[in-house]
Structure 1
Amino acid sequence: MADRGHAVAARELGQALLEGPAPFRDIVRGRDYLELAVEAGDLYAQGALGRMLLSDDSGLVPDVPRAHRLLSAAAEAGHLGSLSALGREYLAGDVLPFRPEQGARYLVSAVRRGHEEARFSLVSAYLRANGLTNRYAGRREARLWLDGVIQADDSLALAERPPAPEPRREG
């Protein structure tokens, strides 16, 4: 099926060949199948290939400009994993330029749509104060801040300390 252009089959086979156990790994064929799926418009394949092209961990030769194009196109089309990957990369600043505000926006967008890995990445970034203005890094504050961000209409409140919870009054 993958040879006849079925995008999902091509993506699954490509990922299996790239990420599977060593005896079955075939980087060239895996990349080729992912490319078929990308050409057929498969968003998951765009995201997967984009992530793999960011580093040489997958065995593919890194191609950061192409990775960015693939991830951006998939993110724009609504692929949550690509939103999350772009957010993490912009916050890390290792492969893509360090742009914490943009990274946080990508992650918040993914979180608002239910991507839990993006939620974890956003809280982790807040706790590390990785480029986000933050003098009060702590788990409780990070959760309050994140809950406030997710509930806000359009503002990210990245530079603000989350409101302190009101003290409990004993009865």
Structure 2
Amino acid sequence: MLSHAIRFICTCAVFLAAAATASAQQVVFDEWRYHQPGDLLYDEGVHTAGVILEDYSFAVIVLDAAGKNTAIGAVIPGTEFEDSISSTLTMTDGFQRNLTISGDRLRREQPKSDGMVSYTFSISEEDVEFFQAALTWTLQAGDQSATFPLAGSRDAVDAARAAQQISADGAEVRAEWIAACDAAAGHPYDTESDAPGVAWSDIDADTATEACLNAYAAGDVSPRTRFQLGRAYDKAGDARALELLGRAALGDEYPIAFHSLAALYTASDYTFRDLGRARDLLEQGAALGDTVSAYALGRMLVERDADKDRGRALLRDAAEAGYPAAQRIYGAWLIDGTLENGDPALARDYLERAADGGDADAAYALAQLYLGDSGLDPDPRRYLSYLKLAARRGNAQALDALALD
């Protein structure tokens, strides 16, 4: 347990050193947190709670997967190791609980971060209770010391314990949470998943986030669950979506994750807008066979007049693969002349496929096609039929049109 905790602590020290120079605004200081996927102090396979100080010292409590051992460690400023350290808990009534740790009980390591040292030792369940009830914890190592506030430690450690319990519940519980994550956050056009998926507009952010976090806690760190947690984070407006979707795409090469990550570089609050980066990601997703990436790339090429012929081919292929948004856009652009001189008869075929696939906007476009202004003969019956279909699926223009009729 101590060796795992030491590895974890030394790894986190590297991340925090980078955060100090790159993105310090992402760090929450002086408050204990249960570490979840996407957090700087998260590590797969362990359940942890910890606190970071403004000088990037940090303390962390690490639970093993079985919940039988607990370690506490801290990374503090310093260049020399001490053979023993003093641990002082100051309670809310001013009483101090002092412990000296030395010998085989104490592990010392040099993190890969200049001017920092780490100390780790095992603690009992009684010690954990004292930590949760105390006001501050001071670690003294010779002339080196750090004092960590313990605000939020009770909730943070309890949350880590709850996650550990989920992991201890076994394969059946893990399968249940994986299925719940699939149902709440799966993408309907994810070729790597057999789950039916859920449309973006229908995702309940709280339900999806809870299900996928619990799948993680249960031990499922598969690329699909990582992607779906990133999708749930994004629906919740959680900036950790960038980390999760980035790992799912660039680390796991999970095809549809490239589209979701590209969307963040197109328009999100989590990172800067970079259409060149978005295009590169869509190229990678399309190369891996993701229909949604191919559609988005084709649309980008046509709209930006970058490579209209290739864009048309990508859109057509995505439409033929059954992606409703591609069918709708391809059909609409055949009508208005964006793609060559227009072809209303062919447009009708694609729009019908999209409408049959549940696309409300395609149903509305079909209704307009049957007004007779786009090259097809007027058909009032079909016009009204598709207008009603579009309205039932929530198209605002169809709802307005029916209110006026």
What TM-score does the superposition give when structure 1 sets the normalisation length? 0.71
Indicate which of 351, 368, 387 corresponds to 1:124.
368
Gaps of 5+ in 1: 148-171
Which whole-Å CA distance do the structure 2 matches of 1:142 and 1:77 have between them? 27
Indicate which of 74, 94, 99 corresponds to 2:318.
74
Which whole-Å CA distance do the structure 2 matches of 1:54 and 1:12 have between them? 20
**One-letter amino acid matched to 2:293:** A
Of all paired residues, the percent bearing the same amino acid is: 30
Deviates further, 65-74 or 121-130: 121-130
Residue aligning to 1:18:
266
In the TM superposition, what is the alpha-carbon distance from 1:128 to its structure 2 partner?
6.2
- State yes or no: 1:50 paired with 2:298: yes
- State yes or no: 1:88 paired with 2:329: no
Which whole-Å CA distance do the structure 2 matches of 1:94 and 1:73 have between them? 17
Indicate which of 307, 310, 314 corresponds to 1:63.
307
Which whole-Å deviations, capped at 9, do the CAs of 1:67-91 have from their partners, x for residues lacking one?
1111111111111111111110111
Deviates further, 78-87 or 91-100: 91-100
Which whole-Å CA distance do the structure 2 matches of 1:31 and 1:67 have between them? 12
In the TM superposition, what is the alpha-carbon distance from 1:141 to its structure 2 partner?
6.4
In the TM superposition, what is the alpha-carbon distance from 1:31 to its structure 2 partner?
0.7
Residue aligning to 2:348:
104
Which whole-Å deviations, capped at 9, do the CAs of 1:27-62 have from their partners, x for residues lacking one?
111111111111111111111111121112xxxx52
Which whole-Å CA distance do the structure 2 matches of 1:51 and 1:94 have between them? 11
**One-letter amino acid matched to 1:7:** P
Residue aligning to 2:377:
133
**One-letter amino acid matched to 2:377:** T
- Which is higher, the Rg of structure 1 or of structure 2? 2
Which structure 1 residue ranges, 4+ long, deviate > 4 Å from structure 2?
none
- The answer on whether the counterparts of 2:367 and 2:382 sit within 8 Å (CA) in structure 1 is no
Which whole-Å CA distance do the structure 2 matches of 1:132 and 1:72 have between them? 22
Which whole-Å deviations, capped at 9, do the CAs of 1:95-145 have from their partners, x for residues lacking one?
3331010001110121122221210111123336212222x76xx76214x
Aligned length: 139
Q: Relative contact order (alpha carbons < 8 A, sep ≥ 6): 1 or 2 greater?
A: 1
- The answer on whether the counterparts of 1:15 and 1:34 sit within 8 Å (CA) in structure 2 is no
In the TM superposition, what is the alpha-carbon distance from 1:63 to its structure 2 partner?
1.4
Higher strand share: 2
In the TM superposition, what is the alpha-carbon distance from 1:6 to its structure 2 partner?
1.9
Higher helix share: 1
User: CA-atom RMSD, angstroms?
Assistant: 2.4
- The answer on whether the counterparts of 2:370 and 2:382 sit within 8 Å (CA) in structure 1 is no
**One-letter amino acid matched to 1:142:** Y
Residue aligning to 1:142:
383
Gaps of 5+ in 2: 1-246, 388-405
Residue aligning to 1:3:
250
